[in-house]
Amino acid sequence: MNVAHGGRRRLVRRIGLAASLGLAGMVLAGCSLTDIKNPILRAGWPEGVTPEAQRMRELWTWSIVAAMAMGMLVWGLVFWTLMFHRKKKNSPEFPRQTQYNVPLELAYTAAPFVAIAVLFFFTVQTQNYVNENPSDPDVTVDVTALQWNWQFGYRQASTAGYDNPPDPSAEDPDRKLNRHFDVSPEVQEAKDRGQTGMREDWSYLYNDQITTVGSTTEIPVLVLPVDQSVRFTLGSRDVIHSFWVPEFLFKRDVMPFPEANQSRNEFTIDKIDSPGAFVGRCAEMCGTYHSMMNFEIRAVPEQLFSEYMEIRDPQRNGGKEVSNADALAALQQQHSKAANPGAVDNACDYNGTDVCTPTAITTHPFEQRFNQAAAAATEGK
pLDDT-wise least confident of 121-130, 228-237, 334-343: 334-343
Higher-scoring residue by pLDDT: 261, 200: 261
| Closest CA relative to residue 204, chosen from 137, 255, 141 | 255
| Closest CA relative to residue 249, chosen from 59, 88, 13, 22 | 59
pLDDT of 297 above 90: yes
Q: Which helix (H) or strand (E) holds 8?
A: helix 2-30
Q: Which helix (H) or strand (E) holds 279?
A: strand 276-282
User: Which residue(s) pair with 142 in the sheet?
Assistant: 153, 233
pLDDT of 206 above 70: yes
DSSP 178: -
Separation between Cα atoms, residue 83 and residue 66, nearest integer Å? 26
pLDDT of 229 above 90: yes
| Cis peptide, bond prior to residue 60, ω within 30 of zero | no
Tell me the pairing of strands 211-213 and 149-157. antiparallel
State the average pLDDT over residues 23-50.
65
Q: Which helix (H) or strand (E) holds 330?
A: helix 324-335
Contact (CB, 8 A) for 43 and 67: no
Contact (CB, 8 A) for 297 and 277: yes
* CATH assignment, 139-164+208-374: 2.60.40.420
pLDDT of 366 above 90: no
Contact (CB, 8 A) for 360 and 296: yes
pLDDT of 367 above 50: yes
pLDDT of 131 above 50: yes
Hey, what long-range contacts does 14-23 have (CB within 8 A, 24 or more apart)? 15/79, 19/72, 19/76, 22/72, 23/72
pLDDT-wise least confident of 25-39, 223-237, 303-317, 340-354: 25-39
Give the mean pLDDT of the chain: 79
Higher-scoring residue by pLDDT: 288, 174: 288
Separation between Cα atoms, residue 194 and residue 365, nearest integer Å? 35
Which sign does the torsion angle of CA 349, 351, 355, 358 carry? positive
Q: Which helix (H) or strand (E) holds 115?
A: helix 102-131
pLDDT of 5 above 60: no
User: Which residue(s) pair with 353 in the sheet?
Assistant: 350
**pTM score:** 0.75
pLDDT of 212 above 70: yes
Separation between Cα atoms, residue 268 and residue 252, nearest integer Å? 11
Domain ranges of the chain: 34-81+102-132, 139-164+208-374
Separation between Cα atoms, residue 342 and residue 332, nearest integer Å? 11
